Amino acid sequence: CLLITDALDMLHPMILKTIIDRMVAGQDILTALSIFFVLMCLVAGFRWAWRLLFGRLQHQVADDLRNILFRHLLQLPPTYHQT
């Protein structure tokens, strides 16, 4: 998802250039604006999906580390906790 988002992000300047060039030339910009809007929606969707997937991974790693630490602390002798 991140690679697709980055690839779509690279298209922004080209589409904006096309819109500006058409505005300067007095041509219709509706098609270029429509493409830009669709592109922005795609970027937002893929960015959301990437954050959702990465967020799940991040929480899973944090839970695993917390459980490993807790199990280790439980295996220590009681004298360790008293000092």
pLDDT in tens, 36-51: 899 889 988 988 988 8
Q: Which phi and psi (to 5°) does residue 10 adopt?
A: -75, -15
Q: Which two tokens stand for residue 81?
A: 């906790």
pLDDT in tens, the chain (83 residues): 778 888 888 888 888 888 888 889 988 888 888 888 998 899 889 889 888 888 888 899 999 999 999 999 999 998 888 86
How high is the pLDDT of residue 2? 73
What pLDDT is attached to residue 81? 82
